[in-house]
Structure 1
Amino acid sequence: MPNSTTVTEFLLTRFSDVWELRVLYAMLFLLIYLATLMGNLLIVTGITFNWKLHTPMYFFLKNLSVLDMCYISVTVPKACVIFLLNNTAISMAGCAAQIFFVLFFAMVELLLLTIMAHDRYVAICQPLHYPVIMNSRVCVQMTLVSVLSGLAYSGFHTGNTFQLRFCQSNVVHQFFCDIPSLLKLSCSDTLNNEILIFISAVVIAGSCFVFIIMSYILIFSTVLKFPTRGERGKAFSTCVPHILVVTVFVSSAVSVHVKPSSSSSPTFQDMLTSVFYSIVPPFLNPIIYSLRNKEIKEAIKRVMGRKLYSRKSIIT
């Protein structure tokens, strides 16, 4: 065998080497990160302290908001650091941890979005059976199954990736560690890894996407029968953005993970595609699912009002 050096750490890639552009990207990522944390934190607080919102729909919304805060925290802080500093290195353990948590949160996010589509289907198409089908026990069980499925999925693919040998270049052509980028750096046979990733991505993501689309087709067919135009418009304004975000999330994730490691494409294009499944959904979810909701807005106003009142009391 030819002489080779075993890789002990990886070097992540910036969007640009120009300092001004690096600062611009870092500021943009930081603003998106802070806005995502603030929006989701307000939603979690509003739902938690308003007992009227302790229903299955808002239970899943709160879980989604907590998940989004964790999901975006895996990639964006490290990306801001590599944009601004000259050190782009990440250890082997850090890279493995990043891959594990990205896969875990992405899988749980997809499953939660699927459950939420089912929840809306039952609420709109089977309203009389809704309290029985979507009782609190079932909601907790579905959430636990989603979490356990995410752990199994991420643990399997992370372990399967890091049993490979990395003895070529250690430059990861991505702003965070992901499996497709690492497979290109491996000097082992990665065919089995690529097949498993392709099958799991197509089967799991495809099944969830088809289930969500079918649920909303049934929802739309029911909504069209509503007597008033206002009720139909309200339902469509909630469902259509949901479908758009799910489509962007699933299509971008699948396009990155089912691409053969031997294929070559512009690095910037791959990195931009990754943004659409790792950063955009957590940023848009609060706007689409909650901040457009009248009850959520009222709950947030009450929480903010209480905080302002308590501050005035302390000052006086």
Structure 2
Amino acid sequence: MQQPSNSSSITQFLLLVFVDTRELQLLHFWLFLGIYLAALLGNGLIITAVACDHRLHTPMYFFLLNLSLLDLGSIFTTVPKAMGNSLWDTRAISYTGCAAQLRYGTLLGSRACVHMAAAAWGSGFLNAVLHTANTLTIPLCQGNALRQFFCEISQILKLSCSDSYLGEVGLLVTNFVLALGCFFFILFSYVQIFIAVLRIPSEQGWHKVFSTCLPHLAVVSLYVSTGMFAYLKPPSMSSPPLNLVVAVLYSVVPPAVNPLIYSMRNQELKDALRKLIQSVHLQQQ
């Protein structure tokens, strides 16, 4: 492990490997490759279907397209590097590469929907800039080895050698309070949806709504709970294996699972995907 005196001399970080043996490293590579390709294919199909089928140009599918863009950005910034490190048996990530992994810039896509999406992307981008600038200007003197498979902010803060990291910790706590508020807002929205659905006499309508809402609420709950646990858990509960498992649950699983929830349980989206595949097949003939 390198022991630089301050952050200006750090040119790279060392990520934590999942396993030590070469065979298990290759198994980790193939497992993450499968998850990555599934997320890429699923989210890519949803984006293409929503963009190409005018029947899906509604607020619900507009926000679904934004979710797919978010999921692609999330998994694209972390998983490929982890796969590459396992394949080539290395741990290194460059300083600039680490800065890019802390957060990522994204794209924006009736007026109210655009304003809501712009607010979400804009606030996320501002949050990313604040975290990245604040974290990577903190003096680091505890080496350059991170106990995580990607550049997680909490792991970089552990390398700090000054009290300046307290400002970043405060910012993290504030963000998670806001995240918890967003989660309760989502939960409140679902309660309102469920109340409205229960007034519908059709059991088919109940099944359609609950079969989509409940799995999505489960994924959102998984993301929020594991994310908060990763950043707010007490030091006594911290261990490399636990950190890895929790990080996978909030950073890798949701982007791969969300397309399944919305494509497999949504007839309109399945019809659009079928139409898209048939169109591509006819063009190839």
TM-score, normalised by the number of residues in structure 1: 0.83
Q: Would you say how many aligned residue pairs link Structure 1 and Structure 2?
A: 277
- Cα displacement (A) at 1:277: 1.3
**SS of corresponding position for 1:243:** helix
Shift of 1:264: 5.7
Give 1:194's aligned amino acid. V
2:169 aligned partner: 194
Say if 1:26 and 1:84, in contact at 8 Å, map to a contact too: yes
* Partner of residue 157, structure 2: 183
Q: Aligned ranges for residues 73-88 of structure 1 at < 5 Å? A: 73-88=76-91
Q: Is the 8 A contact 2:4 2:143 kept in 1?
A: no
Q: Aligned partners of 2:74, 2:171: CA distance in 1, in Å?
A: 23
Partner of 2:275: 302
Equivalent residue, structure 1, for 2:5 = 5
Q: Which runs of 5+ in 1 are unaligned?
A: 109-135
- For residues 282-297 of structure 1, the aligned pairs below 5 Å read 282-297=255-270
Equivalent of 1:217, from 180, 191, 194? 191
Q: Match of 2:135?
A: 161
After TM superposition, give the deviation of residue 81 of structure 1 in Å: 0.8
- Matches of 1:218 and 1:171 in 2, distance apart? 47
Contact 2:15–2:148, Cα closer than 8 Å, also in 1:
yes
The structural deviation recorded for 1:276 is: 1.2
Q: List per-residue Cα deviations over 1:6-56 (Å, max 9, x = no partner).
A: 333210111111111111111010001001111111111112221111111
Q: CA RMSD in A?
A: 1.7
Q: 1:48 aligns with which of 41, 48, 51?
A: 51
Structure 1 equivalent of residue 101 of structure 2: 98
Is the 2:211–2:265 Cα contact (8 Å) retained in structure 1?
A: no
Any conservation in 1 of the 2:208–2:265 contact (CA below 8 Å)? Answer: no
Gaps of 5+ in 2: none
Q: Distance in 2 between matches of 1:183 and 1:151?
A: 21
Contact 1:223–1:232 (8 Å) recurs in 2:
yes
- Cα distance change of structure 1 residues 8 and 259 upon mapping to structure 2, 3 Å threshold: farther
Question: Any idea what the Cα deviations from partners look like across 1:146-199, whole Å, max 9, x if unmatched?
Answer: 111011111111111112111112110000001100111111112232222112
Q: Which moved more, 1:160-169 or 1:174-183?
A: 160-169
Residue 271 of structure 1 pairs with residue 244 of structure 2? yes
Conservation of the 8 A alpha-carbon contact between 2:216 and 2:261: yes
Shift of 1:224: 1.2
Contact 1:61 1:290 in 2 (8 A): no
Letter matched to residue 277 of structure 1: Y
1:137 alignment partner in structure 2: 111
C-alpha distance in 2 between matches for 1:221 and 1:257: 34
Aligned to 1:62: 65
1:14 aligns to 2:24 (yes or no): no
Alignment identity in percent? 44
Tell me if 1:228 matches 2:202: yes
Distance 1:4 1:62, change over 3 A: closer
Partner of 1:311: 284
Is residue 255 of structure 1 aligned with residue 229 of structure 2? yes
TM-score w.r.t. the length of structure 2 is 0.92
How far is 1:64 from its partner? Answer: 1.4
Distance 1:228 1:272, change over 3 A: same
State the match for 1:119 in structure 2.
none
